[in-house]
Amino acid sequence: MSFKIIRNANVEAKVVGGHNGNVMPRLGIVVNDTYEHTFSEASKESALLMQMDLNTISAIFTGGTFVFYNDKLRDYRRGDYTGFIHNDESINKLSDIIGVTDFSGKKSAVNGIFNRVRSRANNGLMMGGEWDKFDLDISSLGDGGSFNNRLMFKYSVFSRNIVTSLEVERLICTNGMVGLSDFLTYEVPIISGWEDNLKVVCNKIKPEISEVMRQRFIAMSEDMATIADVSDANTILKSRMDRAEGIEDRQRLSLLSNLTDLQKNLGSYYHQDVFNSRKSKFIASDLTQFDVYNILTEASSHTHGDEVNDGQAQRLANRLMFDSISREKDIIPVIPKSLESSPERAFFGVA
């Protein structure tokens, strides 16, 4: 198999780069005189170079467990780790049953939010895969209410639990959201009998997830987003536009940003101090929660963004969908809904 798990490893630490003023020193390690890895400049591992000498760093890593796949370090625990570790047979079986995908060297497509999120763990390796998928059609939302949902199972050498998470794709525009809510993310304690137990888990949670999603999407299409939500979305979009790649990305992000421009769209309805006040969390905007959800997933699915911005957009989309269940808006003035608001729009700002 392609996994190589080295236990009680002998590790030698070294400094990589840092010989000129433009390059920060990075921590490199050699495991059992065979496998090498260099950590990034911004990593917590490279920060150790400023805190202790190489002999001390070597001692910290020595005795640890290191997971390599296709000769690349994917995960590790230092020498002081005393937690759970799968044996080779278990990891081999899990990789056969659930799957493994190496994203190293692969460039995600423009609409590859799912692949970008999947590839960011374990140095480009997704230890897991799609287990099942199910459709969700909400008739009251028309064509804009058709979703394809994928249940993903993920595992780790260092966890006895298999993590179950959800990917939501809105079919009218292939916009995607990666479920980050506690409701959607399950940790299933399974040590043996994986296939049968995972089938049971899958059959149990699918109807629960479907019903909550149905209720929330209908409510989101009717409930107005708050001023604070729209402001947060606008900040994310502007930050993404600063790093946009190409004219098409900038044009799309500019259109989406204009839809969330509070001064432009609501300046005649509210005093200026409302936009930055604590009350903005309770004051309605001209966009529905579903509008803002679609704007965020449109941006993260169809324009380029870094890990930080992708995460911000996905977290806000998740918050709109799940954390708004108990939210009540205390101030709901008579504001006309945005003319752009429509659950059947492929994406906002484009006819």
Show me where the domains of the chain are located: 3-83, 95-219, 224-323
| 83 backbone φψ class: left, alpha, beta (φ>0; ψ -120 to 50) | beta
| pLDDT tens sequence across 242-278 | 888 889 999 999 999 999 999 899 888 888 888 877 8
Residue 220's pLDDT band, with cuts at 50, 70 and 90, is: very high
End-to-end CA, the chain:
51
What pLDDT is stored for residue 144 in this prediction? 86
pLDDT by residue (tens digit) across 51-85?
999 999 999 999 999 999 999 999 999 999 999 99
Return d(Cα 347, Cα 174) in angstroms, integer.
10
Query: What pLDDT is recorded for position 192?
Result: 63
pLDDT beyond 60 at 189: yes
Strands (E), 205-293: 224-226, 284-288
Compute the mean pLDDT over every residue in the chain, rounded to the nearest whole number: 85
Q: At residue 330, does pLDDT exceed 50? A: no
- Report DSSP state, residue 11: E
Residue 73 half-sphere exposure, CB side, CA atoms within 13 Å?
19
In the chain, helix, strand, coil percent, each to 5?
A: 40, 25, 35
| Cα–Cα distance, 9 to 32 (Å, whole number) | 6
Percent of the chain with pLDDT over 70: 85
For 293, residues 6+ apart whose C-beta sits below 8 A from its C-beta are 177, 220, 317, 320, 321
| Alpha-carbon gap, residue 49 to 47, rounded angstroms | 5
The model's pLDDT over 115-174, given as tens digits with 9 standing for 90+, comes to: 788 888 888 899 998 889 999 999 998 888 999 998 888 899 999 888 888 889 888 888
- Asked if pLDDT for residue 215 goes beyond 70, the answer is yes
